[in-house]
Structure 1
Amino acid sequence: MSLYQYQQQAKEHLQQWKVGALFMEAGTGKTRVSCELVNSVPELDLVVWFAPLRTIKSPAGVASVIDEVNKWSDFKCNTLFVGVESIGSSDRKYLDVLQQIKEARKPFVIVDESIKIKNMTAKRTRRLLEISKYAEYKLILNGTPLSKNLLDLWAQMEFLSPAILQMDLTKFKNTFCKYTEVTKTLNNRFQYKREIITGYENIDYLYSLIRHYIYECDLKLQVRQIYNTLKYKVDKSSLETYNNIKEIFLNDEMLMYKNNNIFLEMTQKMQHSYCCSEDKIKTLRHLFKDIDESKTIIFCNFIMSQEFCRREFPKALVLSYHQSAFGLNLQDYRNTIYFDKNWDYAVREQSNHRTYRVGQTADCRYWDLDGNIGLDNLFNKCLEKKMNMVEYFKSLSLKTLKEKL
């Protein structure tokens, strides 16, 4: 199968350099282009492919990144597939990979989902930057548009080559980020300062530095994405539990600290209280009278939801958001059900592209299950406005938050 025109353009553009970045929207076939670029380099003796562990060890019946690479290429050298999380969590794995790259004569290093290279305080990021020093050929893959994560660019470009930006992180922030320093007071005694990014500047200059080394591409298919909402009623028992949790968490002491972990724990427990409501299950059973269960993905937040859906709908593919929303190629499916809501817009956007991707021949349909409860309304608002729900909660007064929930 020949390359699509945009894939050929990406290959031709990045073939000119020894390092490069594919900022191509999820579903555009970054893996295929990557294989072509690796194959274009003669006499490689090692390929190291870093990817999220969930894409290397994918669910049963779902193609892994190893399957995808083998589908498009047969590298004529030693090939390692390494979970990017392992580099931060396992000293043994990190040192083993680092030693193999050091000993290789001509290695090629690829980081899939390079959004994982961003936090400079993270051990994973520091170790990947150390590994990058010993490879001449490097490629990063990112399904998030360049404009959505400018602050994360420094570490990603530093991984490719310090010669691209030629500035440290502090200079990068001072050159391209507009930020303000906010002082907060706790209990009228303790103060702490926090920098908040308020915008970006000198973007044309930034693009002039990196444009040779990146290729950007949006996904355009001849099939449609069709979104639907199914309403259901939360049962009385679940609603009572939900309200009890709300009263426990929403008090003056909690509001004074406005701790992120408290808000997250509260929303998780409140959502868990009604995640398997009777009418919700009934609504889904009714939907499966009209759609093919075996062509359907069900995304869940909770283990209880996953176990329930696997038991009730055994032909469907039941997945968790954070383990499976990124990276997997699920083009054999065409229906996606969001059984539990998730407020993270990036996760939601990526989950859409498990089915809507190159090679899909059918329209992709999505269903949200929408309960008659305040928390679901807030989930919807945060997704619609692309807001961080925790930060939104922290901006509300105790009275307003209770009313909205």
Structure 2
Amino acid sequence: MKDESYTEGQISAVKKLERLKVGALFMRPGTGKTRTSLWLVNHTDTDFCLFLVPYQTKENIKKEIKHWGLKTPFRIEGIETLSNSDRVYLELRELLQKSKKPFIVLDESLKIKNPYAKRTRRALELGKLSEYRLVLNGTPLSKNILDLWLQMEFLSHKILKMDYRQFKDTFCKYTQFRRELAYGYYSNWAEIIDGYMNLDYLYSLIEPYVYDSDLQLNHDKSYQTINYQVVENWNKYSALRATFLNRMKYGDTESFLKLTQAMQHSYCDEPNKIRELFGIVNDKTIVFTKFIRSKEAVEQAFPHTKVLTYGKGSLGLNLQNYNRIVFFDKTFDYAQRDQAEHRIYRMGQKDDVTYYDLTGDVNLEKTMDSNIERKQSLLSMFKEIIQTDDGNYKWGQLV
């Protein structure tokens, strides 16, 4: 029977996944994925549920469980703790081994992106001890298509039946290279992903276990770009840019992230950037920053404005009383950007929402915009694979 207190998306998710022992909820922030997960847990015969969540969201999960209810005993643990505490890891193993049919809910599953990290290895080991497994995330991708392998591997190796290298070879086009060092020595081999293939096949493998939902509200979203000039910090940026180009010329890809961060940081509190806020900020505005220096500069200029960082500010907060977000600093991480946008575009929002992107007149800003657009395009392309009547898959528009 349809429960009128649930949304159509939540009902559809439960109908698809309730008969499975493993599944993925890729539901946009604000669509109620935590409540949906509780409904799914209550539909099983589990006798213990472990929630692995980002540490800063633990209290929110407790409140949701108290509000919506959970039939079985449970424990909430920060996913970061898996790598920080051997004691907690061993306690969780013991709890799962003592339970007859344990259930693990892995919230913000993109937190296990690195297949070689201790946190990831331990999450996978705990998963093997559970009868039921569910991953939750707002988007299946943050960096590239490789993000999917770990999430599916956590659910069950039987879904993909491939290790990490096989997955990469099957679905990624990549170039291997190494740079020449002094005296005839070479660096270790490095890889750059420059394309994807067989995405229709990948979709056919994971589709039975995935529910993917966007949030649809009766309110508009609009985006505005505000351009500014880097003047006071131009020399610092130029010097770092010269260093960056020189290292890239010799194939030093290991310095890419470090140097791009340094370049962006060099002009993060540019006075012209601060001035642009005076025509934007009001009492319903949130400003997202990436660096401590830029956060402090904004807070000094606008002491009564809510200023958040992508890391802590993008998770677990319901801020639908605000209707305007300024992205003061850009981010390469698509999942961070997506999380930030949905802090205000979520159920309970009563107004149209507006997003402002501050964009400096340096090439790095264009590169970061293009990077986010490519990830959006990849995600859109992946979602536009539809199954035809004869069981084959093709590219198309979702209808």
Give the TM interval when normalised to the shorter protein.
0.7 to 0.9
Whether contact under 8 Å (1:25, 1:145) holds in the other structure is no
Q: Distance in 2 between matches of 1:191 and 1:251?
A: 18
* Match status 1:281 vs 2:269: no
Structure 2 gaps, min length 5: 377-399
**Other-structure match for 1:391:** none
SS of 1:186 mapped into structure 2: coil
SS at match of 2:150: helix
- Structure 1 partner of 2:119: 124
Two-structure CA RMSD over aligned residues (Å) = 3.0
Cα distance change on mapping 1:375 and 1:168 into 2, 3 Å: closer
1:221 pairs with 2:199: no
TM-score by length of 1: 0.80
Measured in 1, the distance between the counterparts of 2:100 and 2:269 equals 56
Is 1:26–2:19 an aligned residue pair? no
Residue 264 of structure 2 is aligned with which of 265, 271, 277? 271
Q: How does 1:298-377 map to 2 (within 5 A)?
A: 298-377=287-366
Name 1:401's counterpart in structure 2.
Answer: none
Post-superposition offset of 1:131: 0.7
- Give the percent of matched residue pairs that are identical in Structure 1 and Structure 2: 43
Residue 259 of structure 1 corresponds to which residue in structure 2? 252
Describe how 1:190-269 pairs up with structure 2 within 5 A: 190=186, 192-197=188-193, 199-236=195-232, 238-247=233-242, 249-250=243-244, 252=246, 254-269=247-262
Once residues 116 and 104 of structure 1 are traced to their aligned partners in structure 2, the CA distance between those partners, rounded to angstroms, is: 26
Task: Give the one of 159, 183, 186 matched to 2:180.
Answer: 186
The residue identity in structure 1 corresponding to 2:27 is M
Cα deviation for residue 116 of structure 1 reads: 2.6
Give the SS at the match of 1:101. Answer: helix
Distance in 2 separating the partners of 1:133 and 1:111? 13
What is aligned with 1:41?
A: 44
Instruction: State the 1:337 CA deviation.
Output: 0.8
Residue 95, structure 1, aligned to residue 90, structure 2: yes
Aligned match of 2:75: 80
Shift of 1:159: 1.9
Unpaired segments ≥5 residues, structure 1: 58-63, 388-405
CA offsets, 1:110-146, max 9 Å, x none?
Answer: 0011123343212112111111122112111122247
User: Contact (CA 8 Å) 2:244, 2:256: kept in 1 or not?
Assistant: no
Deviations 1:18-63 (A, max 9, x none): 2211122333221121111112224x43221111223236xxxxxx
Letter of the aligned partner of 2:26 in structure 1? F
Distance verdict in 2 for CA 1:66–1:308, change over 3 Å: farther
**Residue equivalent to 1:13:** 16
User: What amino acid does structure 2 have at the position aligned with 1:49?
Assistant: F
**Runs of at least 4 residues off by over 6 Å:** none
Call closer, same or farther: CA 1:251–1:94 in 2, change over 3 Å.
Answer: same
- TM-score, normalised to structure 2, is 0.81
Q: Secondary structure at the match of 2:80?
A: helix
- On the 8 A contact 1:24/1:145 being kept in 2, the answer is no
Q: In the aligned structure 1, how far is the partner of 2:362 from the partner of 2:180?
A: 32
Q: Deviations over 1:293-324 (max 9, x none)?
A: 2x221111111222232343333221111333
Matches of 1:203 and 1:127, distance apart in 2: 29
Instruction: Report the residue type matching 2:238 in the other structure.
Output: N
Q: Give the equivalent residue in structure 2 for 1:140.
A: 135
CA contact (8 A) 1:88 1:124 kept: yes
In structure 1, give the amino acid aligned to 2:55: L
Could you say if the C-alpha distance between residues 93 and 384 of structure 1 is closer, same or farther in structure 2, counting changes exceeding 3 Å?
Answer: same
Q: Secondary structure at the match of 2:189?
A: strand
Is the 8 Å Cα contact of residues 186 and 256 (structure 1) preserved in structure 2?
no
Superposed CA deviations along residues 200-254 of structure 1, whole A, max 9, x for unmatched, are: 5554444444333221222222111111223334443x2333334445x2574x3
**Structure 1 215/246 Cα, relative in aligned 2: closer, same or farther at 3 Å?**
closer
**Cα pair distance change 1:149/1:192, threshold 3 Å:** closer
Paired with 1:345 and 1:210, the residues of 2 have a C-alpha distance of 21
**Corresponding position of 1:104:** 99
The letter for the 2-side match of 1:368 is D
Aligned residues: 371
C-alpha distance in 2 between matches for 1:81 and 1:98: 14
